[in-house]
DNA sequence: ATAGCACTCGAAATCGATTGCATAAATTAT
DNA sequence: ATAATTTATGCAATCGATTTCGAGTGCTAT
C-alpha cells in the first residue's frame, strides 16, 4: 500500500517546536494565541498538508457534527426535496448528514435508529415508516438529549420538534374546491389511517362534504396501503364500474391521482368533465400528465431546511424543552384536471410547469 | 439537562469485575473469550443499556465505517435511485452513508470533498458536478488509499473504480431507432460536452447519422448547459421555426425531451407523426407524459449497489489497484413518442408504467 | 517596588474502544 | 511427570484533538 502518512497536530508541533495544545488552539482561533503564532501555525499546517481528523474531535467533544435522517425511501420527489433541504442547511453550518431509509418497514426503522444512535448524531430528522406504530426506538435519543425533528409523518406526544403541514385544512380545501367545481359524488383515495397525514386529509375531506350538505359514502372511500400506481388504477376501475360512479376524486397523493387520470382517459371518461381529480404533493408528474393534475403543494425543501435549523439552534441552547411545532402553509395548485368552470376562480392558478435538469 | 449517563465498556467491566479488554473482545465475539463469559457479558451489556460508541472505535481503527456520496443534486430521479442503491447495500454491511450535493457547482464539490476527507470515509461514490473540469480534489483520497467509485459522470484517467453505462452505444441505438422509424432530419439536445456522458451520447448520435448516409447538420445540434425544461422548450421553438424543421429529436435527458413533447403538442405538431422524440434516463415523467416518451433506461439503483459493493470488497483486499470498470447495459424503451410504424419492431417494447408510492 | 492583570503557551488528562504482549491456568502430548 | 499447547484474561499503549490547570513573561497602577 502506498498510503501517505497522515499529518497530525503533533507533527506540526514538532516541526515548529510548539506544543500540540498551541497548535490546536491556533487552528481554532483561540484568543490566547497571538495573531502572529496563529498565522505561522496555519501556514505551516497548510504547507504540511494537514487535515483535521474530525473523528478524533468528535470523540473528545462527545458530539459528532452529524445530523441523521430517517426516511421511508429516497426515491420520492417529496422526500428527495426534504433531504436536499436538510443537507444544504446542515452543510452550510459544517455538519455532515447521514441518511437511512426504512423502505416503510418498521424493523428497518428500528435498526436505523440504532445505527444513528451509535454514531452519536447531533440531531435526528425523521419521517415515519408507513408500518410504524411503536415509537420506543426514539426514546434513546430523548434520554440523551439528542433533539428529534419529526417531519410530515409524525407520531403523537413525543418530546420532540414537529415540522408539519395542515393536512386537515389541505384536505378540506381540496374537497371544497371539487364541490365548487360542481362535483356531487366525490371519492377519496386514502392512505393508511394510523399515519397522521392520511387520517387528517381524510377528516378534511369528510368535513368538507358534510359542511356542504353531502354524506360520506363508504363506497367512495378507498383506503390504500401504499397509494401506488397499481393500487390507484385498480381503485379507479372499481369506482367507475359502480352503478353510481363518482364525478370527483380527491387522492391523498399524486401517484394514485395520476393513475386515475390515465385510467379514466384510456376508458373514455373525460377529465375533468366527467371526473374531476385533485392529488397531493405536487410531484413532477403532476405538471406533466395531461390534463395537468390539480394538487396540494408541500414546501418540501423548506421543511428540510427548517428541520436542520431547529437542530442547529437547539444545540446552542441549554434547556431541553423542544415542543416547538412549525406548521407550514400548503397551496392548492389548480390545473386542468379539476377545472370545470371557466371564468375567475377565487383560488390562485397553479404553476403549469416545473423546470428540472439532468 | 436530563441526559442519562452513557454506559461504556468500562462500566460493564466494573460491574462484572472483568477488564475492559475482555468486555471489548466478548462483544466482538473474539475467540479467546469463553462462550460462557461472552454470554454473560452480552446479557449484562444489554441489561445495562450499553450502546457502542462507533466514534471511539473509528478513531482507534482509523476507519469510519462510513461511505461518502458526492452528487449534483438529490432531487433527480436517477440520482435518488443511485443513492438508494448505495445506502441499502452499505447499510446491510453495517456502514453509514454521508451525502453531499454540489448543486453542479465546482466549488461546492471541492468543499464537500474536504468535509468527506476530514470524516475519514472508508470510500467515496461520486458523480461529477456539471462544472467540474479539475480533479485535484480527489487526489487526497487516492493518496490515502481511500477507494473512489466514479459513477455515470466520470473523469478521465484517475486511479479509481468506474461504474458507467455505454453512452455511446445508447446514443447510437436511440438515433438508429429514429432513423428506422423514418426520420430523416434528426435533431439532438446535447449536454455540456466536456462531461463524458453528453459527449459520448452525441458521438453515438453523429455516428448513427453518418453510418446511415445522413450528414450532421449543426443547425440541428443544440448544446444545453443544464438540459432543463425551459431550455428544452426554447430549443424546440427554435427548431420548429426553421425553414426546414426536424422530424425527430434525440434528447440527452428526459426533462428536455418531455418539454419538447409538450411544446409540440401545444403548437399542433403531432408526436410522433410529425416529430418523433427519444429521451434518456427513464424518469417517472417519461411514462406519464402523453404520448409516452421513448427513452433509454439506466439501472440506477443497481449502479448504486455495485458502487457500494466495490468499496466494501476493496477494503478486504490489500492491493491498491482499483482500475476496474463496470459497464452496465442500458435498454431502449420504446413508447409512443417515437413509434411511427405499426407492426413488429426488432426492439423490445418498453414498460408503459411505473409504480410508485407516497 | 510590588501587587495585579493580560497575554502566551505547555503538561497531562480525557473521550471510548481496540489490541499486542504478557501471564496464569488448564489441558494435551510425549 | 514434564514439556508443549491451548484457553482465558489483564495491562497499558494507542488513535488525534481538546481542554483544564497552571506557569512564566511583561506591563500597568498604586
Strands of the sheet with A221-223, listed across from one edge: A221-223, A186-190, A248-251, A276-278
Q: Which of B305, B298, B300, B299 is nearest to B88 (CA)?
A: B305
**Cell 480534489 found at:** B137
Name all contacts of A128-131 with Cβ < 8 Å and 24+ positions apart. A128/A72, A128/A153, A128/A154, A128/A155, A128/A195, A129/A72, A129/A102, A129/A103, A129/A104, A129/A105, A130/A72, A130/A104, A130/A191, A130/A192, A130/A195, A130/A225, A130/A226, A131/A104, A131/A105, A131/A106
pLDDT confidence of residue B104: 94
d(CA B284, CA A281): 15
Q: What is the largest CA-CA distance in chain A?
A: 90
Per-residue confidence (pLDDT) for residue B350, from 0 to 100: 38
A328-346 mean pLDDT: 82
Q: How far is CA A219 from the centre of its chain?
A: 32
User: Are A99 and B78 inside 8 Å of each other by CB?
Assistant: no
- Tens of pLDDT, residue by residue over B328-352, are 999 999 999 999 876 544 444 334 3
- Is residue A105 within 8 A of residue A131, CB to CB? The reply is yes
Band (pLDDT 50/70/90 cuts) for residue B38 is confident
Give residue-wise pLDDT tens across range B308-325. 999 999 987 766 667 789
Alpha-carbon gap: B101 to the closest alpha carbon of chain A (Å): 8
Rounded distance in angstroms from the CA atom of residue B59 to the C1' atom of nucleotide D14 = 10
Most B CBs within 10 Å, among A57, A64, A75, A87, to test the B interface: A75
With CA of B41 and C1' of each nucleotide, the nearest comes out as D9
Alpha-carbon gap, residue B98 to B93, rounded angstroms? 15
The answer on pLDDT for A326 being more than 60 is: yes
What does each C-alpha distance from B108 to B128, B143, B198 come to in angstroms?
A: 11, 21, 22
Chain D positions with an atom below 7 A of a protein C-beta are 7-12, 14-20, 22
- pLDDT tens-digit series, residues A105-133: 999 999 999 999 999 999 999 999 999 99
C-alpha cell at A122: 447531533
Is the Cβ of B290 closer than 8 Å to some Cβ of chain A? yes
pLDDT at residue B3, as a whole number: 57
pLDDT at residue A320 greater than cutoff 70: no
**pLDDT one-digit tens code per residue, A152-184:** 999 988 999 999 999 999 999 999 999 999 999
Q: Is B254 on the interface with A (CB under 8 A)?
A: yes
Displacement of CA B244 from its chain's centroid (Å): 38
Q: How far apart are CA A6 and CA A51, in angstroms?
A: 8
At residue A319, the pLDDT reads 63
Give whole-number Cα distances, B21 to B7, B9, B11, B278, in Å: 16, 9, 12, 63
Contact of B337 with chain A, judged by CB distance below 8 Å, is answered with no
Strand D contacts in A 135-174 (CB under 7 A):
none
State how far residue B213 is from chain A, nearest Cα, in angstroms: 31
Residue at minimum CA to C1' distance from nucleotide D17:
A57
Q: Cα–Cα–Cα angle for B327, B328, B330, nearest 5°?
A: 130
| B residues 21-50 lying closer than 8 A (beta carbon) to A | none
Given this model, what pLDDT does residue A4 score? 63
pLDDT band at A316 (very low <50, low <70, confident <90, very high): confident
Search chain B and give the residue with CA nearest A76: B358
SS (HEC) of chain A: CCCCCCCCHHHHHHHHCCCHHHHHHHHCCCCCCCHHHHHHHHHHHHHHCCCCCHHHHHHHHCCCCEEEEEECCCCCHHHHHHHHHHHHHHHHCCCEEEEEECCCCHHHHHHHHHHHHHCCCCEEEECCCCCCCCCHHHHHHHHHCCCEEEECCCCCCCCCEEEEECHHHHHHHHHHHHHHCCCCCEEEEECCCCCHHHHHHHHHHHHHHHHCCCCCCHHHEEECCCCCHHHHHHHHHHHHCCCCCCCEEEECCHHHHHHHHHHHHHCCCCCCCCCEEECCECCHHHHHCCCCCEEEECCHHHHHHHHHHHHHHHCCCCCCCCCCEEEECCEEEECHHHCCCCCCCCCCECCCCCCCCC
Mutation for testing the A interface, residue in B55, B71, B108, B287 having most A CBs under 10 Å? B55
Residues A292 and A286: their CA atoms lie apart, in Å, by: 6
Ramachandran area for residue B94 (φ above 0: left; ψ -120 to 50: alpha; else beta): left
pLDDT higher than 80, residue A190: yes
Q: CATH: 3.20.20.70, 3.10.20.340, 3.40.50.2300, 1.20.120.160. Which one for B167-297+332-338?
A: 3.40.50.2300
CATH number of this structure's domain A64-165+300-329: 3.40.50.2300
Cell of B276: 418523433
A136 interface with B at CB cutoff 8 Å: no
Q: Say yes or no to pLDDT of A26 above 70.
A: yes
Whether A283 contacts A256, CB under 8 Å: no
- Mean pLDDT, chain A, as a whole number? 90
Residue A35: band (very low, low, confident or very high) from pLDDT cuts 50, 70, 90:
confident
pLDDT surpassing 70 at residue A45: yes
Yes or no: say if B339 and B272 are a contact pair by the CB < 8 Å rule.
yes
C-alpha grid cell, residue B299: 439501472
Predicted local distance difference test score (pLDDT) of residue A240 = 96
For B102-129, write each residue's pLDDT tens digit. 999 999 999 999 999 999 999 999 999 9
For residue B291, is the peptide bond before it cis, meaning its omega torsion is within 30 degrees of 0? yes
Name the nearest CA neighbour of B313 among B127, B163, B167.
B163
- Mean predicted confidence (pLDDT) in A89-100: 95
C-alpha to C-alpha distance for A245 and A222, rounded to whole angstroms: 13
For residue range B240-270, list pLDDT tens digits in order: 999 999 999 999 999 999 999 999 999 999 9
- pLDDT above 60 for A356: no
Which set of grid coordinates corresponds to residue B164? 458507467
Is the link from the previous residue into A272 a cis peptide, with omega within 30 of 0? yes
Number of Cβ within 10 Å of residue B218's Cβ equals 7
Q: Using alpha carbons, select from B128, B123, B169 the residue that is nearest to residue B152.
A: B128
Mean pLDDT of B49-55: 91
C-alpha cell at A248: 370527483
Mean pLDDT value across residues A67-87: 97
B20 CA to D13 C1' distance (Å) = 14
Q: Where are the domains of chain A?
A: 9-52, 64-165+300-329, 167-298+332-338
A167-298+332-338: CATH, from 3.40.50.280, 3.40.50.2300, 3.40.190.10, 3.40.50.970: 3.40.50.2300
Nearest Cα residue to A191 out of A247, A238, A231, A219: A231
The predicted structure's pLDDT at residue B80: 97
B34 Cβ contacts chain D strand, under 7 Å = yes
List the B13 CA – C24 C1' distance (angstroms): 20
Reported as a pLDDT band with limits 50, 70 and 90, residue A357 is very low
The C-alpha cell that represents A269 in the structure block: 371518461
Are A288 and B288 an interchain contact pair (Cβ–Cβ within 8 Å)?
A: yes
**Subunit contact A3:B253, Cβ cutoff 8 A:** no
How long is the CA B84 to C1' C16 vector, in angstroms? 32
Q: Give the model's pLDDT for residue B320.
A: 64
* Across A242-256, average pLDDT: 97
CA–C1' gap, B52 and D9, in angstroms: 21
Q: CB under 8 Å to A57, separation ≥6 — which residues?
A: A65
Q: According to the model, what pLDDT value does residue A342 have?
A: 67
Nearest C-alpha of chain B: how many angstroms from A253?
6
What is the predicted pLDDT for the residue at B40? Answer: 87
Q: Which three cell numbers stand for residue B338?
A: 417515437
Q: Which of residues 96-115 of B touch A (CB under 8 A)?
A: 96-101, 103-104, 111-112, 114-115
- Residue B95 in this model has a pLDDT that exceeds 90: yes
- The helix/strand/coil state of B189 is strand
**For strand D, which residues in window 1-30 of chain A come within 7 Å by CB?**
6, 8-10, 20-21, 23-25, 27-28
pLDDT at A348: 40
Q: Where does residue A145 fall: left (phi above 0), alpha (psi -120 to 50 degrees), or beta otherwise?
A: left
**Tell me, what's the pLDDT at A121?**
95
- CATH 2.40.110.10 is right for the domain spanning A9-52: no
Say how far apart CA A248 and CA A240 lie, in whole Å: 11
| Domain B167-297+332-338 in the same topology as domain B9-52 | no
Share of chain A above pLDDT 90, in %: 74
Q: What's the rounded Cα separation, in Å, for the pair A216 and A208?
A: 10
- B24 membership: H or E segment, kind and range: helix B20-27
* CA B289 to each of CA A76, A289, B95, B270: distance values in angstroms, whole numbers, following the listed order: 18, 5, 38, 14
User: In degrees to the nearest 10, what's the CA dihedral of B258, B262, B265, B267?
Assistant: -130
Amino acid at each position: 500500500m502506498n498510503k501517505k502518512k497522515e499529518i497530525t497536530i503533533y507533527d506540526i508541533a514538532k516541526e515548529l517546536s510548539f506544543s500540540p495544545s498551541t497548535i490546536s488552539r491556533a487552528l481554532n482561533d483561540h484568543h490566547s494565541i497571538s495573531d502572529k503564532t496563529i498565522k505561522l501555525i496555519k501556514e505551516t499546517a497548510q504547507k504540511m498538508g494537514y487535515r483535521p481528523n474530525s473523528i478524533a474531535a468528535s470523540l473528545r467533544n462527545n458530539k459528532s457534527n452529524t445530523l441523521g435522517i430517517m426516511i421511508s425511501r429516497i426515491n420520492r420527489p417529496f422526500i428527495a426535496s426534504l433531504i436536499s433541504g436538510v443537507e444544504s442547511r446542515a452543510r452550510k453550518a459544517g455538519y455532515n448528514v447521514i441518511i437511512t431509509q426504512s423502505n416503510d418497514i418498521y424493523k428497518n426503522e428500528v435498526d436505523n435508529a440504532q445505527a444513528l444512535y451509535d454514531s452519536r448524531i447531533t440531531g435526528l430528522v425523521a419521517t415515519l415508516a408507513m408500518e410504524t406504530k411503536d415509537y420506543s426506538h426514539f426514546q434513546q435519543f430523548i434520554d440523551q438529549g439528542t433533539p428529534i425533528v419529526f417531519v410530515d409523518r409524525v407520531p403523537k406526544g413525543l418530546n420532540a420538534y414537529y415540522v408539519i403541514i395542515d393536512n386537515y385544512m389541505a384536505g378540506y380545501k381540496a374537497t371544497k374546491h371539487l364541490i365548487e367545481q360542481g362535483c356531487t359524488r366525490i371519492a377519496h383515495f386514502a392512505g393508511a389511517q394510523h399515519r397522521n397525514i392520511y387520517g387528517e386529509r381524510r377528516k378534511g375531506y369528510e368535513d368538507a362534504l358534510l359542511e356542504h350538505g353531502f354524506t360520506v359514502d363508504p363506497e367512495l372511500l378507498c383506503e390504500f396501503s401504499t397509494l401506488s400506481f397499481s393500487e390507484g388504477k385498480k381503485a379507479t376501475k372499481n369506482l367507475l364500474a359502480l352503478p353510481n360512479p363518482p364525478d370527483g376524486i380527491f387522492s391523498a397523493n399524486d401517484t394514485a391521482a395520476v393513475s386515475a387520470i390515465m385510467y379514466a382517459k384510456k376508458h373514455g371518461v373525460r377529465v375533468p368533465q366527467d371526473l374531476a381529480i385533485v392529488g397531493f404533493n405536487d410531484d413532477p408528474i403532476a405538471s406533466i400528465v395531461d390534463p395537468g393534475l390539480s394538487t396540494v403543494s408541500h414546501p418540501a425543501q423548506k421543511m428540510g431546511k427548517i428541520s436542520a435549523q431547529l437542530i442547529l439552534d437547539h444545540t446552542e441552547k441549554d434547556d431541553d424543552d423542544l415542543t416547538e411545532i412549525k406548521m407550514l402553509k400548503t397551496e392548492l395548485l389548480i390545473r386542468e384536471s379539476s377545472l370545470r368552470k371557466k371564468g375567475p376562480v377565487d383560488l390562485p392558478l397553479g404553476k403549469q410547469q416545473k423546470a428540472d435538469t439532468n
